[in-house]
Structure 1
Amino acid sequence: MNADFLIVGQGIAGSVLAWTLDQRGCSVILADDPGLPSASAVAAGIVNPLTGRKLVRTWNADELFPFLHQFYRSIEQQLGVQFFHSKTIYRPFRSDDERKTYQELTADPAVRPYVTESPEDASYSQWINNPFGGLSVAQAGWVDLNEFVRLIKGYFIQKNQYYEGRVEQTDLVVGDTSAAWKGITFNRVIFCDGVQAQQNPLFNWLPFNPVKGQILTALVDGYSIPDIVNQGVFILPVRPGLIRIGATYSWHDLDWEISDDGREYLEAKVRAVLKIPYEIVNQQAGIRPSTKDRRPFVGLHKGKPVAGIFGGMGTKGVSLAPYLAEQFARHLLDGEELDSEANISRCVSL
């Protein structure tokens, strides 16, 4: 039996790439080990074009954001489902000085398309501490990642192109022109397995810089703000009365365990923003596959070009994956060049 691609790992990266290649007419086997932890299973799935106190525009935002909105909507239409929620992000100011600083930042022509001029501050004030007002970030939203991954899994199961289990390196033979695994010959094998790539002898030389993150889930009676709120911590409305609160960032203690420190940090942050009582009902931890230069890892192995990688997207996988998957597909199928900032060729000297 022959197939075009073996995709190893079905988080956000593997799901998006498998779908993209499938829609181009390729035969794709999608493999995932449910026994391995997944950052996508924990992540809030927020897409945000402007981040941090300085309203830093996401890398390649002008291309990424129109593309991701179209990409997720097209899957919803094709499968008759909903998992993508287009939202505004409301950012209350901490002080009058911050308000003035943000007004200067939003005058930048590169930032202006992502900002709503006059949010209705009063509509938030029943629940959110915003005495200095705030600004609203447009073209944002969130992907229900557990639902999205489940739907993509079901799609490939229905096509009999899904394998649930670990792809052992000892079972995978990567040759000069093809790869073989479980009696199937593949033109290419692409690893989309997050931080597990650090244990892959083909790609363990890449400069990953993993980041642990924790989020909380809470009940909040009467909370009906439809938008995401962000002020040093995000408050994501999953449905009326249920929110997610996040996230922590730690480059130490890189395990998948929740911690009291993480919960205390997030609760201290959210108490400064949220006016009304809440009840924590869940806490989760994950390790994001971030990189040293904060750019993704996309491309083929220089010595074994049958093997490729699609990952290293850190906290922005939901935003980056659709556009980069399309670019990678054009590289693999049409010979087009990859973005030099994402291409792993930038790291070959390592």
Structure 2
Amino acid sequence: MHVDCLIIGQGISGTLLSWFLHKEGKTFLVIDNNKVDSSSKVAAGIINPITGRRYVTTWMIDEVMPFAIDTYRSLESYLQASFVYEKSIIDFFPSPQMLNAFVDRIAENDTYLHSYPNQNQFNQYFNYDFGCGEIRPSYSIHLPLLLELWKQKLNEWNAIKEEEFLLDDLQISDDHASYHDITAGKVIFCDGVDAATNSWFRLLPFAPNKGEAMIIEAEELYNGHIFKRGVMLVPLPTPGLFWVGSNYQWEFADDKPSEHFYKQTSNLLQNWIKVPFKIVDHKAAIRPATVERRPFVGFHPHFPVIGILNGMGTKGTSLAPFFAHQLIQHLVYDLPIADEANVHRFTRILSRETGKGSS
């Protein structure tokens, strides 16, 4: 079997990469281990134009957000499903200082930050003492549904193998790769944190971190917005269900849900939400984040048959469409990849070690 591209991983990056290859009429095969709690499946799929406690505009958001929404809308049409939800973020200020910081940022740039006209609108649902502001436009993408529907499409095309990828069995030559009975013009790793142990790319400055989330049922809770106060509270497509999270753990022993997060988040919700709720699920995953908070996109400077689309961190829902498209445009038309994302910025680092296999 020969394909133009062998894709390792069917998270959000692998899904979008194969979508753009399909649009270009290229052949591909995806190998995915179907991990239940991958970072793409655990994430809420939020596209938020503002980041951090200082309300800073997210990197490249003016370009990546409209592109991402157009891409997801196109996939909705193609798959005949709905998984894109435009919902502004209501940010409840935890202190007068945060209220003042929000107001100051509005004065500087009101593109995404807005005052909220009715400060008492959410009193029946939440406890909050210092008011709220609004971030818009923002979106939630129901990634589990998108990933499942795309997997069904890949199965229809015989374009996916659900199995563990054995890195030591991959053979690389100057112009193609071989894996078992498959030959491919390119191999692109979209395998999340697993890439950090891949000897072609393990010297890249990955900074994996663990995130946890809960699913709660709160039938009386208003679902017209995403709500934020320490954690995000995101309405899910199933009425009455909400995603709650997430945190950032830079040191962790495993990828399992922790009792600490459960207790801490339960207490936060009990002090914040006024209506009845119950916790129905608790999940955790390791994010493929990077030290400089920029993704890794492109082909290995010394092994051009090998590529990577990875390191999206918490911004994968917004960044993956843009950079998957850039990577395919580079592959097909030799168009440039953004310098800040191009893996060639690490050419010197990647020259220190060559070869195959994992360790």
State how far apart, in whole Å, the 2-side matches of 1:149 and 1:195 are: 18
Shift of 1:171: 2.2
Report how far residue 181 of structure 1 moved: 1.9
Q: How does 1:210-221 map to 2 (within 5 A)?
A: 210-221=208-219
Q: Is 1:230 aligned to 2:228, yes or no?
A: yes
Q: Are 1:163 and 2:161 an aligned pair?
A: yes
Output one character per residue of 1:129-173: Cα deviation in whole Å (capped at 9) or x when no partner. 234321111121111111111011111111111111122123221
The aligned counterpart of 1:270 is: 269
Verify the 8 A CA contact 2:220 2:276 in the aligned structure 1: no
SS in 2 for 1:75: helix
Amino acid in the other structure paired with 2:150:
I
- Using structure 1 for the length normalisation, give the TM-score: 0.95
Larger mean CA deviation between 34-43 and 82-91 belongs to 34-43
**Aligned partner letter, 1:42:** V
Give the conservation status (yes or no) of the 8 Å contact 2:287–2:313: yes
Q: Are residue 2 (structure 1) and residue 8 (structure 2) matched?
A: no
Tell me which amino acid in the other structure corresponds to 2:105: L
State the Cα distance separating 1:315 from its structure 2 match: 0.8
The answer to whether the 8 Å contact 1:30/1:163 transfers is yes
Q: Is the 8 A contact 1:223 1:240 kept in 2?
A: no
Contact kept? 1:121, 1:130, Cα under 8 Å? no
Q: Which residue pairs with 1:299 in the alignment?
A: 298
* CA apart distance, 1:86: 1.4
Residue 183 of structure 2 corresponds to 185
Is 1:96–1:132's contact at 8 Å kept on the other side of the alignment? yes
Aligned equivalent of 1:243: 242
Cα distance, 1:117 vs structure 2:
3.8
Structure 1 match to 2:356: none
The letter of the residue matching 1:266 is T
**Which residue in the other structure is 2:50 paired with?**
50
Instruction: List per-residue Cα deviations over 1:83-123 (Å, max 9, x = no partner).
Output: 121111110222344323211112223xx221334343333
Q: Secondary structure at the match of 2:293?
A: coil
Tell me how far 1:275 sits from its aligned partner: 2.4
Paired position in structure 2 for 1:331: 330
Please tell me the root mean square deviation across aligned C-alpha atoms, in Å.
1.6
Cα distance in 1 between the residues matched to 2:321 and 2:57: 18
Identify which range, 282-291 or 15-24, moves more after superposition. 15-24
Contact 2:37–2:284 under 8 Å retained in 1:
no
Partner of 1:103: 103
| Contact kept in structure 1, 2:211 and 2:249, CA below 8 Å | yes
1:247–1:266 contact (8 Å) kept in structure 2: no
Unaligned runs of 5+ in 2: 350-359
What is the DSSP-based 3-state SS (H/G/I as helix, E as strand, rest coil) of the residue aligned with 1:152? helix
Q: 2:357 maps to what in 1?
A: none
Describe how 1:1-350 pairs up with structure 2 within 5 A: 1-35=1-35, 38-109=38-109, 112-238=110-236, 239-350=238-349
Q: Give the corresponding residue for 2:355.
A: none
Cα distance in 2 for residues equivalent to 1:202 and 1:37 = 25
Q: TM-score, normalised by structure 2?
A: 0.93
Structure 2 SS opposite 1:240: coil
**CA contact 1:221–1:278 (8 Å) conserved in 2:** yes
The structure-2 alpha-carbon separation of the partners of 1:119 and 1:188, relative to structure 1 and needing over 3 Å to count, comes to: farther
SS in 2 for 1:122: coil
Say if 1:254 and 1:174 are closer, same or farther in 2 by CA, change over 3 A: farther
What is the alpha-carbon distance in structure 1 between the residues aligned to residue 270 and residue 66 of structure 2? 34
Deviation at 1:254, TM superposition (A): 4.4
3-state DSSP of counterpart to 2:125: coil
Tell me, in whole angstroms, the C-alpha distance in 1 between the residues paired with 2:167 and 2:96.
57
